[in-house]
Amino acid sequence: MSHSQNGPKLQTVNLVHKASSIDKQWSPRIVAEMNDYQFKVVRIEGEFIWHSHPETDEAFLVLEGELRIDLPHGSVFVGPGELFVVPRGVEHRTASEAETKLMMIEPRGILNTGHEGGERTAQNDVWI
Amino acid sequence: MSHSQNGPKLQTVNLVHKASSIDKQWSPRIVAEMNDYQFKVVRIEGEFIWHSHPETDEAFLVLEGELRIDLPHGSVFVGPGELFVVPRGVEHRTASEAETKLMMIEPRGILNTGHEGGERTAQNDVWI
């Protein structure tokens, strides 16, 4: 089975509504799965920590606000309805000046801080 | 390498703009890749054919308009900013009353008609 027994099935997911219902920032919540991949929504504000995911690319789709992704050679700004894929192994830092809601897509089991660990590491595998 | 040599890299992708620039309906175009998965945008109107993808789930994110997905036990309606995942092997038919722009996410190499073939089968692996 490719679908979690805990997750919603055959339901339409309103991404902004789901993101808005998360109780705190920087806490990704799973809203759907596709094979071994997960769709997560998150509310962010301020700067995250630099990290990378050596094992996977990571996709970001902005729902509301503006996401800044700092990369080794500069920053990209991602607005609503825009998609950006951070290639595997590339150091990056997400940030936003005002609260921003976004969706991330990545394989199941990927931690938000990659292999950095530390206090910014969110609980993984939590559905909303 | 997880990224196509032909595809754009480290670029922000505006999904509606990309979908709007496709020259004809029912012609998915790749806008980004994530590992072995592809993000495709498409403009649709009217009804597609019934088909399934026995090897993979398939995710749909509506950008503009309203997508109807007919399933064996009924239809779901997916609006802008909403996500729906059709599980692997489940027969489905996409449709829309008025032109609708959407993004699909699925593994590289998946045909739009699954294993049905026929005249509605779009050329695969075309970037925009």
State both tokens at B1: 């390498």
Could you give the percent of chain A with pLDDT greater than 90?
A: 83
Beta-carbon contacts below 8 Å between A and B: 103
In angstroms, the CA A120 to CA B67 distance is 38
Least confident of A41-45, A89-93, A121-125: A121-125
Of B34, B78, B81, nearest to A59 by CB-CB distance is B34
Residues 35-74 of A with CB under 8 A from B: 35, 37, 39, 56-59, 61, 63, 71
In angstroms, the CA B90 to CA B92 distance is 6
Q: Is A56 close to B35, i.e. CB distance below 8 A?
A: yes
Contacts of B71 in chain A (CB under 8 A): 10
pLDDT at B116: 86
pLDDT at B7: 44
pLDDT in tens, B51-79: 999 999 999 999 999 999 999 999 999 99
| C-alpha count within 13 angstroms, C-beta hemisphere, residue A35 | 17
- Buried b / exposed e over A41-79, threshold 16 CB at 10 Å, is bbbbeeebeebbbeebbbbbbbbbbbbebbeeeeebebe
Contacts of A9 in chain B (CB under 8 A): 87
What is the value of pTM for the model shown?
A: 0.92
Are the C-beta atoms of residues A58 and A85 closer than 8 Å to each other? yes
In angstroms, the CA B34 to CA A53 distance is 13
Other residues' Cβ atoms within 10 Å of the Cβ of residue B83: 24
pLDDT at B96: 98
State both tokens at B116: 């049905």
Distances (CA, A) of A77 to A69, A80, A94: 6, 10, 10
pLDDT in tens, A16-62: 999 999 999 999 999 999 999 999 999 999 999 999 999 999 999 99
CA distance A67 to chain B (A): 11
pLDDT at A69: 98
Q: Which one-letter amino acid corresponds to residue B43?
A: R
Using a 10 angstrom Cβ sphere, with 0-12 exposed, 13-18 middle and 19 or more buried, the burial of residue B59 is buried
pLDDT at A43: 98
pLDDT at A102: 98
Coil, strand or helix: which one is B87? coil
Contacts of B103 in chain A (CB under 8 A): 83
Res. A4: pLDDT tops 70: no
Contacts of B53 in chain A (CB under 8 A): none
Q: Give me the sign of the Cα torsion angle A58, B106, B31, A77.
A: negative
Contacts of A107 in chain B (CB under 8 A): 35
* Residue A77 contacts B where some CB pair is shorter than 8 Å: yes
Are the C-beta atoms of residues B112 and B121 closer than 8 Å to each other? yes
Count of residues making up chain A: 128
pLDDT at B9: 63
pLDDT in tens, B6-57: 444 678 999 999 999 999 999 999 999 999 999 999 999 999 999 999 999 9
In angstroms, the CA B77 to CA B89 distance is 20
* Top-confidence residue, A59 or A8: A59
- Map out the domains of chain B with their CATH numbers: 15-107 (2.60.120.10)
pLDDT at B10: 76
Q: Is A12 close to B37, i.e. CB distance below 8 A?
A: no
